[in-house]
Amino acid sequence: DSGFIAGADIQEFEGVKTVDDALAIVRRGWDAFDELAAVPYPTLALVRGFCLGGGLELALACRYRVVVDDPGTRLGLPEVMLGIVPGWGGMRRLPRLTGAPAALDLLLTGRTIDARRAKKLGIADECVPPRIMMNTARGMLLTAPPHRRVPFPLSLTLNPLFRPLVAAQARKQVAARARREHYPAPYAILDIWVKHDGDALALPASDPASIAHLIQTPTAMNLIRVFRLQERLKSFGRETDALTHRTELLRDLHSATRHVHVVGAGTMGGDIAAWCALRGLTVTLQDQTAERLKPAMQRAAKLFADRLKDPRRARDALDRLIPDVAGDGVARADVIIEAIFEDLDAKRTLFAALEGKARPDALLATNTSSIPLEQIGTSLKDPARLIGLHFFNPVPRMMLVEIVVGASTRGDLVPRASVFVRQIDKLSLPVKSAPGFLVNRVLAPYLMEAMRCVDEGIAPETVDEAALAFGMPVGPIELADTVGLDICLAVGKMLDQDAQPPKKLSELTAAGHLGRKTKRGFYDWSSGKAAKSSSGIVPPGLGDRLIQPFVAEARSALADGIVADADLVDAGAIFGTGFAPFRGGPLRYAASSGSAPPSASIGPGRPA
């Protein structure tokens, strides 16, 4: 059961060739839903499961909405994430139910909400448990209660006189995270709402804010492709063994992970453990002393409070995260993740000890960021048990997990690992074991080039601004500080032992200034954020200089078979490094800018 309606068929958008094609799609839905909204008898949408995009616009056109309080019920208008705008009445009807601020938040971010939130915002008239959903729906249709009105003073946000003020505030928030030249859709939503009360057909097709124009832009085409890539990565955790392209239905209930044991309570280990507990798993977190566990537990408590916004649920999550200095959880765990510092001998020693205590069927995984599995596994009696689960920092925000497959890794471990990654709501990318795997391999040359620019006298702020202007979500110098300069140096040496590391990187690392985690790196992090001066004027060509090593290494990784195909290189770069999604990934960008080699075959992405 896929739910209510998960949205319009994306293939329709991909098939748009002309302005008339785009207008026909919009007109068809707009007219149909307008007719539904105008019928003289009561209409009701009973929503259980996904209610997204056109599905929510259909529900909004009904007189009443009853949502089912079920974990799978999610409502939202994610069109902005595809580079387009809701065209079937959502921009007009949603603000009239919730008031402008809440509606614009949903429209401009594409985020989804659960059933209880939908009721609180006014989108739903009732939120009920499954057992009474039919009776509630029948009762509402029979009694036909009066419409809920947006209360004063929130109703003022719908007044045409106040709309420009509300939109101006929303535009500031959008500008803080997305530039108009990169992502025009959220700005188009604001323009259409302010000037035309959300009527997607009011603009001429030639207007840059019109859906007919947006749907044909490279941004929309690339973002739709990114959606396809995301669905493909999700499919690895459902039923596909990605390395052999065998399809297996993983129906065995015993494949579900219940207990995770994490060794290493540093930034990565502690945050991996906290994330697993947040997603409902029992987690034991091991380190050498209780003092080393304390910061991880404190970060976890903050994560649970911020994400769950419910003291009882946050307490339950914290109860699932168990400090375990003695390592007693090893013997009970379904999945064991090593997340200690990047030292080969230390990892070998640890895995030799873990193997003797772990259950024979437990998944033994390393979170190493760059060391090939073949080197770590030499201490194991059965190296075929070892697999990589490479998470990215910050764990709560980064969706991707590289599933690293060594030369001797058993084939059945890949789908098991993929199921686990999906269980904790991450995206899995199977990669071949090789120095840096995929993400760090393509990221390291980009970061090193940025730091060499600093060595040449270009300000870190200027380097970062050049990357932001290209479309990267964060500048490479700030990213290096966030990852940790010691890790950057270690990965750089691992990938190219003969290369001389950037001078400033070596100096800062030697002085113990490792970036955000030590409060000082290229930037001062005393306040918790990078203290930056003005970027000044960005020299011409600096952005291209930064991106070219990224593209070159992406091609090299594809040629070396680190992942199965070019689409997965782009997917890994987007979801693992934040490579500008609107550009479609490094290989798609290279192809569209005319710099791809003739042999590069970069398709539109595979449907899930």
**Residues 6 or more apart from 203 whose CB is under 8 A from it?**
192, 196, 209, 210
Q: Are strands 321-323 and 282-286 parallel, antiparallel or unpaired?
A: parallel
In the 8-state DSSP scheme, what is residue 524? B
Q: Which of 114, 124, 178, 172 is nearest to 147 (CA)?
A: 124
Q: Could you give the angle at the alpha carbon of 394 between the alpha carbons of 521 and 417, nearest 5°? A: 135
Report whether 475 contacts 485 (CB < 8 A). Answer: no
Q: Are strands 400-405 and 386-390 parallel, antiparallel or unpaired?
A: antiparallel
Q: Of residues 235, 369, 379, 433, which has the active-site annotation?
A: 369
Question: Chain centroid to CA 280: how far?
Answer: 19
Residue position matching structure tokens 């949408």: 45
Handedness of CA 232, 234, 236, 238 (dihedral sign): negative
Told to judge if 390 belongs to the known catalytic residues of this protein, a careful annotator would answer yes
Q: Which of 410, 325, 423 is nearest to 364 (CA)?
A: 410
Q: Of residues 261, 418, 440, 461, which has the active-site annotation?
A: 440
Give the CA-trace dihedral at 574, 579, 585, 589, to 10 degrees.
Answer: 170
Told to judge if 402 belongs to the known catalytic residues of this protein, a careful annotator would answer yes
Q: Of residues 57, 79, 355, 402, which has the active-site annotation?
A: 402
Q: What is the largest CA-CA distance in the chain?
A: 78
Q: Which of 555, 563, 544 is nearest to 596 (CA)?
A: 555
Report whether 80 contacts 186 (CB < 8 A). Answer: yes
Give the Cβ contact number of residue 353 at 10 Å: 13
Q: Which of 107, 71, 64 is nearest to 89 (CA)?
A: 107
The CA–CA distances, whole Å, from 207 to 182, 184, 249, 540 equal: 17, 12, 48, 30
The CA–CA distances, whole Å, from 216 to 21, 183, 209, 223, 224 equal: 10, 13, 12, 11, 11
The Cα 238–Cα 244 span in angstroms is 15
Give the Cβ contact number of residue 37 at 10 Å: 15
Residue position matching structure tokens 């899995």: 428
Radius of gyration of the chain (CA): 25
The CA–CA distances, whole Å, from 212 to 206, 220, 494 equal: 8, 11, 49
Told to judge if 369 belongs to the known catalytic residues of this protein, a careful annotator would answer yes
Residue position matching structure tokens 């904790």: 424
Number of H helices, E strands in the chain: 25, 17
Alpha helices, DSSP H, located in 144-286: 163-175, 185-196, 211-214, 218-236, 267-278
Q: Of residues 213, 259, 261, 390, which has the active-site annotation?
A: 390
Hey, what are 106's tokens?
């949903």
The Cα 204–Cα 218 span in angstroms is 20
| 153 upstream amide cis, omega within 30 of 0 | yes
Q: Which of 506, 526, 516, 435 is nearest to 480 (CA)?
A: 516
Q: Which of 477, 471, 493, 484 is nearest to 543 (CA)?
A: 471
Told to judge if 592 belongs to the known catalytic residues of this protein, a careful annotator would answer no
Catalytic residues, by residue number, are: 369, 390, 402, 440
